[in-house]
Amino acid sequence: MSAFLPERLDRLRIALEAYRRRLEGCLGDPSSPEFTVAMNEFLEFIRTVDDREAYAELEAGGQVDRYRAFLGPLVLRFIWAMERVGHAQAVARSRWPGGSTPLVEAPAWGAYTHMGQSLEGIALGACRQFAMVGCGPLPDSLLYMEEHTDIESLVGIERDPKALGMARELVAAFGLERIRIVEGEGERIDYGEFDLICPSVFVTPRLATLERIAATAREGVRVILREPFYTGTLLFEPVLDVLPPPLEVIADSRSEPGRLMLKRYVLGLGRRRERTGP
């Protein structure tokens, strides 16, 4: 252990506390320019922190969970604020003569941009039904699948009434007949009809949703897992090390993690073991 580690760990804590206070100061209006600037700067900070040893000490001390409880919901509010803007722009684009391609003007770090990388290693030829769990108000993963795949049925699952209505509005505006937006909770629905499933990293509870997939999906299904690593664990609960059987990693993407510090994995669902006991 470096003799300077305590000092570096203190610097990391001080920086995180400074961002916490700054973000707390503009929570009254999460759509304000002040909040947007502060959150963008914070996301750039977690993307560029280069002291892995100090961060490991922060995790070992149990402090990451405390920060996540505050920052996780906050980054969701930020993303939804950005998606409301993107939603309005997309609806306006739908009124242009001949529609618009691409359907959304996605940020370079958004799900639309990274969805193609998430599909690496997945044979889509036999895929007939895809589910995006927690599609949000701007279902950009579904829009990507609409534009770049031939999958017959694209289903967005969302539990928030406002996001549900906005997603349906956008799908109707573009007349996207392959996409269907349904109300549901990730940890409660039956996944038996789907060939490919992608739970949003914002879906909570993450582990319970994966447990439900493991319990109800059919053998051979593929699951796209967006998993936080390094400073991404400040925002999202990691689940890779506690995957419910028979879900297992069969491939991982070498794509860039982006601003939210996410790696992408493909999970497979193998044969369920027969119960031998009572």
pLDDT at position 151 is: 97
Contact of 156 with 180, CB cutoff 8 Å: yes
Instruction: Report the DSSP beta bridge partners of residue 77.
Output: none
- Determine contact, residues 170/138, Cβ cutoff 8 Å: yes
For 82-120, the pLDDT digits (tens) are 888 888 888 888 877 655 556 666 554 567 777 888 888
Least confident stretch, 105-109, 172-176, 270-274: 105-109
Of the candidates 140, 278, 129, 133, the residue with the CA atom closest to the CA atom of residue 212:
133
Cα–Cα dist 206/204, whole Å: 5
pLDDT in tens, 212-267: 999 999 999 999 999 999 999 999 999 999 999 999 999 998 778 888 999 999 99
Angle, helices 5-24/63-94, rounded to nearest 10 degrees = 50
Q: Which of 192, 186, 127 is nearest to 157 (CA)?
A: 186
| 101, 147 contact by CB (below 8 A) | yes
Is the pLDDT assigned to residue 275 strictly greater than 50?
A: no
Q: What is the pTM of this model?
A: 0.91
> 178 falls in which pLDDT band (50, 70, 90)?
very high
- Confidence (pLDDT) at 96: 72
Tell me the percentage of the chain whose pLDDT exceeds 70.
Answer: 91
pLDDT of the residue at 100? 54
pLDDT in tens, 30-81: 678 899 999 999 999 999 999 999 999 999 999 999 999 999 999 999 998 8
Q: How many Å apart are CA 169 and CA 86, to the nearest integer? A: 13
| Residue closest to 82 by CA, chosen among 39, 131, 48, 117 | 39
Query: What order do you get walking across the sheet with 129-133 strand by strand?
Result: 179-183, 153-158, 129-133, 196-199, 222-228, 262-269, 247-252
Position 86: which residue type?
G
Find how far residue 48's CA is from the centre of its chain: 20
